Copies of this chain bind each other. A is one copy, B any other.
Amino acid sequence: MVLAVKENFPQAAGDPKAVAAAITALTASFGNRVVTSRAVREQHGNTLTWIANQPPDAVVFPQSTEDVQAIVRICASHHAPIIPFGTGTSLEGHVNAPQGGVSIDFRDMNKVLAVHVEDLDCVIEPGIQRKALNEYLRDQGVFFPIDPGADASLGGMAATRCSGTNAVRYGTMKDNVIALKVVLANGELMTTARRAKKTSAGYDLTRLIIGSEGTLGVITELTLKLAGIPEAIAAGVCPFPTVEACCNATIQTIQSGIPVARIELLDALQVKAVNLHSKLGLPETPMLFLEFHGTDASVAEQSRRFGEIAHDLGGGPFDWATQPEDRTRLWEARHHAALSNIALRPGSTIVPTDVCVPISRLAECVTATQRDIAESRLVAPIVGHVGDGNFHLTMLVDMSDADEVRRAKDLSERLVERSLAMDGTCTGEHGIGQGKMKYLLAEHGAAALSVMSTIKRALDPHNIMNPGKIVTLA
């Protein structure tokens, strides 16, 4: 077969002696910005989920694109693996170093390089975090709308093609990055596009890098689309008798063209967890958290129309408010949903899931999954960015109970199978990392997987760029 010259692919970058030599060379160039202490290395492996912590051999803190080029050139000359690191909030083991190597931590590359308010864009370094960016932008009347909950770095958000609560209106990272600077596996610096809002000039290298999880290159600069801060924002919660009614209200909202900015499902157990953590005092029933953006007149109209939909489905009352404090309290509670779940079962470990299905199948998928959770005797509250058909169960697992771990793994497998059977995906926004590699073939088929491997092999012939993520090379 033309596309898969698998035997030519060097599987095992990361020979320990070569990595040690790379670290020596890095230390000669970067001094105490190269760190090899066990604690720091472990912080740079996966820490948030059940995926084992696989620390890198060293962590280096670049301060410029030129630093990153120098780091990549040194690592490339030793075939030492390179793992880009933002805040470590990814959920599928993206930052792990299964073959050892060097973590590049973008902590010190966190500047806003330019804001072009007239063009609704900005140019930033990859290490800046979402909240700091929006803090910086606020006085200029603009914001970056993508909001995954965690206060992630923008570089990491682009690398995982993340989305979150606002995506139903503003799109995902793929829709909100105009251009990237990327250090390639040979140390060369690629600029993927210019600052024009659209272009048809050749292959879409911007979108190729977004979601590639550091396996094709290291992002060192991003040009982001911005949105104007809406004149008015209304937010509120709406209880429903069942999860199915929540899903149906969502479907009707989307179909009727209400430009809802956020529409989030919480099942009764998730509401309980949020109440425990954030003291919201909400009725413990399935509900939607919503937000509308627009003018005063438009958010009032959107809220009214949604309220009618909810009422027809037995939901409501839909209470909405336009006071910033109320909204902040609500969305902080929503953002803490994943963490608040720990309160439901102290000492447990989080096993995240992330399917996304066509919205017409959402109610069916969520209700079948709820039955499966009950039958599996697991604790797994559900939250969802339901306007996109995307939902998560956060399984709270006692990792010392082998039977429970097995049941959690089995539930996770069945959830992915259910999603794929409904023409959905194994990951709506978390990415593949290590945890989802096993599903890629079933999701995409052999030809697409072969194309992914071919691209990886062509752009990273020595397999040094975040090896062991996305594509298997066996």
B255 near A161 with CB under 8 A, answer no
Give the residues in chain B near A426, CB-CB below 8 Å: 201
A205 to B79, CA, bound (A): 27
- A298 to chain B minimum Cβ distance, whole angstroms, is 6
Name the CB-closest residue of B to A356.
B196
A83 to B450, CA, bound (A): 23
A471 near B198 with CB under 8 A, answer no
Known: A2-B186, A295-B301, A428-B199. A451 touches B194 (CB 8 A): no
Give the residues in chain B near A459, CB-CB below 8 Å: 3, 451, 454-455
Give the residues in chain B near A461, CB-CB below 8 Å: 2
Chain-B contact segment, one of A18-26, A30-38, A171-179: A171-179
A443 interfacial contact with B, CB 8 Å:
yes
A431 interfacial contact with B, CB 8 Å:
yes
Known: A200-B160, A200-B430. A359 touches B119 (CB 8 A): yes
Give the residues in chain B near A255, CB-CB below 8 Å: 117-118, 120, 228
- A414 to chain B minimum Cβ distance, whole angstroms, is 17
Give the residues in chain B near A117, CB-CB below 8 Å: 255
Q: How many copies does the complex hold?
A: 2
Give the residues in chain B near A205, CB-CB below 8 Å: 444, 448, 451-452
B358 near A201 with CB under 8 A, answer no
Residues in A294-329 with C-beta less than 8 Å from chain B: 295, 297-298, 301
A471 to B201, CA, bound (A): 11
A473 interfacial contact with B, CB 8 Å:
no
Q: What 1/0 flags go to A428-459 for Cβ under 8 Å of B?
A: 11111000100110011111111110110111
Give the residues in chain B near A430, CB-CB below 8 Å: 200
A211 interfacial contact with B, CB 8 Å:
yes
B198 near A429 with CB under 8 A, answer yes
Q: Give the 5 A-B CB pairs with smallest separation, nearest first.
A: A207-B207, A118-B360, A458-B458, A199-B425, A190-B447
29 A-B pairs with C-beta separation under 8 A: A2-B185, A2-B461, A3-B186, A119-B360, A121-B358, A162-B200, A172-B198, A190-B445, A190-B448, A191-B444, A195-B423, A196-B357, A196-B358, A196-B390, A196-B424, A196-B428, A198-B429, A200-B425, A201-B425, A201-B432, A201-B436, A201-B444, A203-B452, A204-B210, A205-B452, A227-B257, A228-B256, A228-B257, A297-B301
